[in-house]
Amino acid sequence: MINDLVIYAARIPNLSEQDIFWYAAALLAERQKKITSYRQRNDRLRSLTAGLLLRQALENDCDIAIGDTNLLLTDYGKPYLAGRPNVNFNISHSGDWVVCAVDKQPVGIDIEKIEVPVDLKLVKHFFSQQEYADISSLHVQEQATRFFQVWTHKESYVKALGIGLYMPLNSFTVGISDNDYSVLVDEGKQLWFLKEYEVDKDYVLTVCAAHNLFPPTVTIRDVLESNKRLVV
């Protein structure tokens, strides 16, 4: 059983097809299938990195050996571990990075690469009126950072809920706090806590948890180094 919320990040490594195959063989069967289903090598590498990050977190933080569990999907497509209601995890990828959060309670994570400039038409379409007003009032350079802050807050929340983008992002408003974390109260009156981390200055990363006991930093992993024993 996991004790505290843990957050990991890894840069996507460059591997030969042969090595992708060997590393993938050490992962959960469902992840192996997913990796081989991708036609693009970059997608295979991204999915492999996510699988390796998750495998290591399950082994080290939850004492779960890879052979002792399997992955299932909710009706909304959120992966979860069969028969382990106290082990919740979530994965996100963007550009060079894959991130993974594991917690006792539902958790959501989202990382996005900051792309400039922001299309305000998109902001108007996807965000609430208040968020649109806030972002459009900013200077062009600041608009992009704020856009991706709001985006990762929203997406980490809908991923913690497990609904994903089936929940319209303009149906609720997130406040970006200057404090250590932001708080969101959903319609069911549950409190959610959102914290931003910096793993790379060109990316924004937000984690949404059901409590405010966030680790101070994200642990950066070299997935090849830390999983080397899997392929020797």
Ligand X SMILES: CC(C)(COP(=O)(O)OP(=O)(O)OC[C@H]1O[C@@H](n2cnc3c(N)ncnc32)[C@H](O)[C@@H]1OP(=O)(O)O)[C@@H](O)C(=O)NCCC(=O)NCCS
Return the exposure string of 34-44: e unless at least 16 CB atoms fall within 10 Å of the residue's CB, then b: bbeeeeeeeeb
Q: Given candidates 35, 58, 62, 93, which one binds ligand X under the rule CB under 6 A?
A: 93
Contact 102, 9 (CB under 8 A): no
Site mask for ligand X (CB under 6 A), range 25-64, x = bound: ----------------------x--x--------------
Beta bridge partners of 101: 7, 90
Q: One symbol per residue from 62 to 81: x for binding ligand X (CB under 6 A), - otherwise; what is it?
A: --------------xxxx--
Bridge partner list, 8: 100, 219
The structure tokens listed for 1 are 């059983």
Minimum gap (Å) between residue 18 Cβ and ligand X: 22
> What token pair was written down for 168?
């319209």
DSSP label at 149? Answer: H
155 interacts with ligand X by CB under 6 A: yes
CA distance 85 to 2: 11
- 166 contributes a contact to ligand X by CB under 6 A: yes
Give me the 102-131 binding string for ligand X, x by CB under 6 A, dash otherwise. --------x---------------------
Residue 31 Cβ vs ligand X, minimum distance, rounded to whole Å: 8
What is the size of the binding site for ligand X (CB under 6 A)? 17
Of 20-28, 84-92, 121-129, 199-207, which segment contacts ligand X by CB under 6 A?
84-92
Cis peptide before 216 (omega within 30 of 0): no
Least separation in angstroms between residue 50's CB and ligand X is: 4
The span from the first CA to the last CA of the chain, in angstroms, equals: 29
- The three-state secondary structure class of 72 is strand
Residue 152 binds ligand X, judged by CB under 6 A: no
Candidates 164, 173, 196, 224; binder of ligand X (CB under 6 A) is 164
Q: Quick one: DSSP state of residue 138?
A: S
Residues that bind ligand X (CB under 6 A): 47, 50, 76-79, 90-93, 110, 155, 159, 162, 164-166
